[in-house]
Structure 1
Amino acid sequence: MEYFTGGDMPKVGMSDVAAAAGVSVSTVSVVLNRVKSARVHPQTRERIWKAANDLGYMPNGMARGLRLQRSHLIGFVSDFVATTPYAGNMIVGAQEAALPTGRLLMAVDTSGDARLEETALTSLLQQQVDGVLYAAMYHRSLTVPELLGGTPTVLVNAVAQSSTVSSVVPDEQGGVRLAVTELLDHGHRRIGYVDCTDRILAAPLRRRAYRATLRKAGIVPDPAWTAVEPPTSRGGYRAALDILQRPNRPTALFCYKDTMAVGVYQAAHTLGLRIPDDLSIIGFDNLELLADNQFPGLTTVSLPHHEMGAWAVRQLIAEITDPATTPQQTKILGTLYRRDSVAPPSGA
């Protein structure tokens, strides 16, 4: 909330109060905006209010009116979403859901910089946004910033570690079931997994779903069918060489992500295996620039970035409109995109 001193005296920003009180602008913001959930020491609160009074601060009536009547602005704060070639669809989905309701999305990408994030959130709150979408580039667990206490908030591609707020994430296990079932439906029974070393929520979820889907089909997963490498094309290449040179090699490989699948294509070429005649390959993420430009095209499962962004806006608007709305935690299933990298096993 902006403040001014009245009359013809010059306007004073929160930075002036922060300087007088010896605290950060974000701390001044939560105190002057009376954010109850913010953890600020009582003595610090007193010092801030004293500085505000000494400077003759008064609330900006226009800004307060905007808050009461709603600004029709939605903040979108992310780490690396806007700077990646695929997760940006979250922003597109959010915009498309917001515009028909007369709301405007204000997006800020912090590149993972904590200080920039604090500045961005403070600025958005000063703009009196009705609510905030707090998004992550990859599916992870996070702590909701204290600055957002009291502001309607929905997490996108993330879940909260402690606080109860609405969140939307991909159905990782459902996506793996789509991929592995596609290979099973083509007659494959020796299905390997090009796994990754990432320590994020998606990794164990996809690993367990791969094994569970095979077991449900009556197949005991063979540890020799799995190799773990970094989630890069080079990692996929090494993993595929490892798996495909073992006795009784798999006839199909499911890859943790499309970038690893690119390396699997290269490994198949090195070993003289034809795709999909000798080896079927299926990926995860649907990175179209990669999947469409493989030869043959890579069959893969999408991450529902667009759908998550749209759902998050709809849920946020519901909570803005009715503060009694119950927070929701949901998963959205991606789509299987069939191209030409999957066929029945040779000799079937």
Structure 2
Amino acid sequence: MTSDAKDTRRKGTAGTHRRPTTYDVAKQAGVAQSTVSYVLNDVRTVTIPQETRDRVLEAARTLGYRPNAAAASLRMGRTNTIGLISDEIATTPFAGKIIKGAQDYAWEQGKILMIINTDGDADIAAAAITLLLERRVDGIIYAAMHHQEVLLPTTLRETPAILLDCFVADRSLPSVTPDESGGGYTATQTLSAHGHRRIGFINLQPDLPAAVGRLAGYHAALREAGIALDPALVRHGNSRADSGYALTRELMQLTAPPTAIFCGNDNIAMGAYDALRELGLAIPNDVAVIGFDNQEIIAAYLRPALTTLELPHYAMGQWAVRYLLDHTEHSADEAVPQVVLPCPLVMRDSL
């Protein structure tokens, strides 16, 4: 093939718009294609005069040359992509905050997210991990939408990975979860600081890690305040408004009913509001109420607006990406972090 034929092949047909290549930059700058590669990849082991470097860079700018990210990733062994696998995305109010936190931090660092929803299907989760490994992502975030222990495919250990809002039994994988105990403590301590001594607690299902942690925090705050624990003030619900309603009515039938109720989530608090209203009790004048989760579609629109604890989904998303970018490899001698992030108090009008 003649050189003219080669030129025609590279230029393409008249009127065809294509991305400029290093060949085009080399031709514009009047240098070898290898020189362009050295300059654009900032290779300093090869001596190239500054005037030549400037000419190559100017040619690249003039032509609008952009490097091939896929090819660069293959050379560097990194794809600048992080996989995020979740058991729920469309059906939970928390997924958006996790994704936004992860995406915001990833974007700041020049990375992108590849997101896969499994709908809680273990087979889909295993296939998703395999797919992400085949695409050579730089790491995987495995997220649950409520705090829980999980069983994971062993393939997840073939790449840097972190668990978000979940953990494995032997704690052999890094995780970031909410400080459930700290949140339970903050809720109860806030109520005691407002003068309440009879503090009811309508918790989640007792086997949930969140319920265990929040109950521990409740107990700790009562001890610190010198308030004797009364088991009659503690109830376990089903996380829904109907249990909040029914269990609030039970609590208010006690001989010495609570003057404040700590609800294990905002759904339970919504049911508590309905029960107290039916009983002719005003919030917060007769009974104070505090929730957990800060589901804004509930907490901000109840009347009075609900004081609650914020689950740190946005912060967990950010922390997970930061960890993966800082730990592309894990040393056998390095401790496996089990990070808990605080659940901030969101003060509104129900205390």
**TM-score scaled by length of structure 1:** 0.77
Give the C-alpha shift of residue 63 in structure 1: 8.3
Give the C-alpha shift of residue 334 in structure 1: 1.2
Q: Name which of 195, 201, 206 aligns with 2:209.
A: 201
Give the C-alpha shift of residue 133 in structure 1: 0.4
The letter of the residue matching 1:303 is L
Structure 1 range deviating more: 236-245 or 196-205: 196-205
User: Who is 2:341 aligned against?
Assistant: 332
Give the C-alpha shift of residue 144 in structure 1: 3.1
User: Who is 2:192 aligned against?
Assistant: 184
Check conservation: 1:291, 1:298, Cα contact below 8 A: yes
The count of residues paired between Structure 1 and Structure 2 equals 280
Q: Which runs of 5+ in 2 are unaligned?
A: 1-69
Rounded Cα–Cα distance in structure 1 between residues aligned with 2:330 and 2:77: 15
Q: Name which of 207, 226, 250 aligns with 1:242.
A: 250
Larger Rg: 2
Q: Percent identity?
A: 42
Q: Name which of 136, 144, 160 aligns with 1:128.
A: 136
Structure 1 range deviating more: 134-143 or 325-334: 325-334
User: Who is 1:285 aligned against?
Assistant: 293
SS of the residue aligned with 2:281?
coil
Per-residue Cα deviation, 1:84-134 (whole angstroms, up to 9, x for no partner): 112331111111111111111101111101222122212111111011001
Rounded Cα–Cα distance in structure 2 between residues aligned with 1:323 and 1:223: 45
The letter of the residue matching 1:167 is S
Q: Which runs of 5+ in 1 are unaligned?
A: 1-61, 343-348
SS of the residue aligned with 2:239?
coil
1:260-339 superposed matches below 5 A: 260-320=268-328, 322-324=329-331, 326-339=335-348
Pair 331,163 (structure 1): closer, same or farther in 2 beyond 3 Å: closer
Pair 228,329 (structure 1): closer, same or farther in 2 beyond 3 Å: closer
Q: Does residue 1:141 correspond to 2:168, yes or no?
A: no
User: Who is 2:262 aligned against?
Assistant: 254
The 4+ residue runs of structure 1 with deviation greater than 3 A are 62-65, 322-327
1:62-77 superposed matches below 5 A: 66=74, 68-77=76-85
Pair 335,190 (structure 1): closer, same or farther in 2 beyond 3 Å: same
The letter of the residue matching 1:75 is G
The letter of the residue matching 2:344 is T
Q: Does residue 1:173 correspond to 2:153, yes or no?
A: no
Check conservation: 1:302, 1:336, Cα contact below 8 A: yes
Rounded Cα–Cα distance in structure 1 between residues aligned with 2:90 and 2:159: 23
Q: CA RMSD in A?
A: 1.8
Check conservation: 1:183, 1:252, Cα contact below 8 A: yes
Give the C-alpha shift of residue 164 in structure 1: 1.8
Give the C-alpha shift of residue 316 in structure 1: 0.7
Per-residue Cα deviation, 1:215-262 (whole angstroms, up to 9, x for no partner): 111001212212222211000001000001111111000001110000
Per-residue Cα deviation, 1:53-88 (whole angstroms, up to 9, x for no partner): xxxxxxxxx889727430111000010145311233
Rounded Cα–Cα distance in structure 2 between residues aligned with 1:314 and 1:196: 31
Rounded Cα–Cα distance in structure 2 between residues aligned with 1:255 and 1:163: 29
SS of the residue aligned with 2:159?
coil
User: Who is 2:229 aligned against?
Assistant: 221
User: Who is 2:48 aligned against?
Assistant: none
Rounded Cα–Cα distance in structure 2 between residues aligned with 1:230 and 1:163: 27
Per-residue Cα deviation, 1:272-293 (whole angstroms, up to 9, x for no partner): 1001110100000000000011
Pair 198,132 (structure 1): closer, same or farther in 2 beyond 3 Å: same
Per-residue Cα deviation, 1:314-346 (whole angstroms, up to 9, x for no partner): 1111111x544653211000110111000xxxx
1:152-171 superposed matches below 5 A: 152-162=160-170, 164-171=172-179
Rounded Cα–Cα distance in structure 1 between residues aligned with 2:314 and 2:216: 26
Check conservation: 1:188, 1:252, Cα contact below 8 A: yes
SS of the residue aligned with 2:327?
helix
Check conservation: 1:255, 1:284, Cα contact below 8 A: yes
Check conservation: 1:72, 1:103, Cα contact below 8 A: yes
Rounded Cα–Cα distance in structure 2 between residues aligned with 1:296 and 1:212: 28
User: Who is 2:121 aligned against?
Assistant: 113
